[in-house]
Amino acid sequence: MIDRRSLIAALPLLGAAPARAAGPAPCVATRGTGDLGVVIERATGSILIVETTGRSVLARVEGLGDLSHASLCVSRDERYAYVFGRDGGLTKVDLLEARIDKRIVQGGNSIGGAISDDGALVAVSNYEPGGVRVFDAQTLALVADVPAVGPGGLPSKTVGLVDIPGRAFVYALYDAGEIWRLELPKGREPRVTRLAGVGKLPYDANVTADGRHYFAGLFGEDGVAHVDLWKEPLAAARVLEGYGKGEAPLPVYKMPHYEGWGSTQNRLFLPAIGRDELIVIDLDTLKEAGRVKTWGQPVFAVARPDGRHVWVNYAHPKNGVVEVVDALSLEIVRRIEPGPAVLHLEFTPRGHEVWVSARDADAVVVYDTRTFAEVARLPARKPSGIFFTARAHMIGK
C-alpha cells in the first residue's frame, strides 16, 4: 500500500526534477491506469497526476510550457497523456512514471488535438501558423502537415479537432468558415475532404460518441453547422438557424466549449452563444427540442456518462456556480458553488463522481453525483482542465 501522504509530501522535490526524476520512481507499486487522470495547472506549466479511487494526487510534473487552454488525449493503453499547450508544445507524459517521455514544440500557438482510433497518430490543431499537424504517437515524429487554406489563399486557425473512426480527423477552419475531414490511411497519402461555406466563424466543434454527427458552433451568426459523417458525399447544413430570434446577443466574456457536450440518448445540449441558455437538439430531426434557462452563459455542458443529468459551468463573471440539469424535464435540479472561477469538470468513467476545477480557489472539488455532497477537495495551483484516462476509449475525446 502506497502512503499517499508521503507522495504528496515529496511533490516539491519531484517538481524540481527535470524530465526523469533522479530519486526513487514516483509510482512504486504495480498498478493499473484506468482510474488515473490529469489536472492542468494552467499558470505554472505543470500537471497533477491524480487517481480517482482514493481521490488523491499522485505526482506533479512540471516543464510543460504555456498551459492556458491546454487539453489532452490519452494513449490506447491509458499509460500516456498527450498534452497540447498554448505555446505549440506537444508533451507526451508517462502517467505511471510521472515524467515527461517526449516533448516537442510543433507550432507557434495550438488549441487542441486528438488521437486516431488505432492509437498511432496524434493530430494537433494550430492557431499559428494555422492548419493541422499529425505526429507518430510513439515517437512524436511529424507524419503529415496539412495547412488550412481557405478561399483567397488565407491561412486559417483550426478549431474543434476530433478523431473519427478510420484513422481520420475532422476540424473546422475559423477564419475560412469551412469544415475539413482529414483521412490518413496506412501507407497512403493523406486525403482531405473540404466543405466550404459552412457558416461564419466556427469557433468550436465536437462529434457525437458514435462518430456520426459533427456540430460546429458559429460565432458570426445565429446557427450551428452540422455534418452527418455517415453520409457520403459529405455535406454541411445549417441547423438551429436564428436560434437567437434576432435578439442582440449578450457580450461573451468566455467562449463556450463543445468539448464534453451534454449528449444524452437522442438529444444534445449545446451552449447558446451570447445567451443564458442551453439549446437542446433532437438528433433524429436536427431540430430544437427545448431550451434550458441557465444561471449565466454556459461554457461547458457535460452529460453524466449515463446521460441522466447535464452539469453546466458558466462564463466570467458568473463562473462561481455549477448547475445540474435533468435531461428529461429540462429543469435545473441543483445549484452548487464549488469556489470562484469554475473552469472545467470531468466525470469518473461511469459517473459516480465528478471532479470540478475552481481556479481561484486553487482547488479541485469532487462531488458525489447522486447526493451532490462534496466528498473531497484537493489543492491544485490555478487548475483548469481535468482529463481522466477513460477518454482513451471514447470516440471524439
Partner 1 sequence: MLASLLLTSAASQAARADVDRARLADLVRQDCGSCHGLTLKGGLGRPLTAEALAHFPVETVRDIILDGLPGTPMPPWRPLLSVEEASAIADMLKRGDTK
Q: Which residues make up the interface to partner 1 (CB under 8 A)?
A: 42-43, 66-69, 86-87, 109, 111, 127-128, 157, 159, 174, 201, 203, 219-220, 251-255, 316-317, 341, 359-360, 382
Which residue number, 203 or 347, has a Cβ lying nearer to partner 1? 203
CA–CA separation, 173 vs 131, rounded Å? 8
At residue 76, the 3 state secondary structure works out as: coil
Which residue number, 219 or 295, has a Cβ lying nearer to partner 1? 219
Nearest to residue 39, comparing CAs of 24, 25, 56, 53? 56
Least gap, CB of 111 to partner 1 (angstroms): 7
Q: Give 152's contacts (C-beta < 8 A, 6+ positions apart).
A: none
Which residue number, 283 or 315, has a Cβ lying nearer to partner 1? 315
Task: Give the three cell numbers for residue 257.
Answer: 466549449
Least gap, CB of 113 to partner 1 (angstroms): 15
Least gap, CB of 44 to partner 1 (angstroms): 10
Which residue number, 103 or 157, has a Cβ lying nearer to partner 1? 157
Which residue number, 254 or 334, has a Cβ lying nearer to partner 1? 254
Least gap, CB of 205 to partner 1 (angstroms): 13
Which residue number, 32 or 220, has a Cβ lying nearer to partner 1? 220
At residue 50, the 3 state secondary structure works out as: strand
Q: DSSP assignment, residue 140?
A: -
Least gap, CB of 298 to partner 1 (angstroms): 15
Using left for φ > 0, alpha for ψ between -120 and 50, and beta otherwise, residue 138 falls in alpha
Which residue number, 263 or 384, has a Cβ lying nearer to partner 1? 384
Which residue number, 253 or 372, has a Cβ lying nearer to partner 1? 253
Least gap, CB of 315 to partner 1 (angstroms): 9
Task: Give the three cell numbers for residue 86.
Answer: 498554448
Least gap, CB of 294 to partner 1 (angstroms): 18
Nearest to residue 32, comparing CAs of 58, 11, 5, 14? 58
Residue 342's Cβ-count burial label (10 Å; 0-12, 13-18, 19+) is buried
CA–CA separation, 196 vs 149, rounded Å? 11
Least gap, CB of 71 to partner 1 (angstroms): 13
H or E segment at 184?
Answer: none
Q: Give 5's contacts (C-beta < 8 A, 6+ positions apart).
A: none
Ramachandran angles phi, psi of 12, nearest 5°: -55, -40
CA angle 64, 301, 171 (to 5 degrees): 60
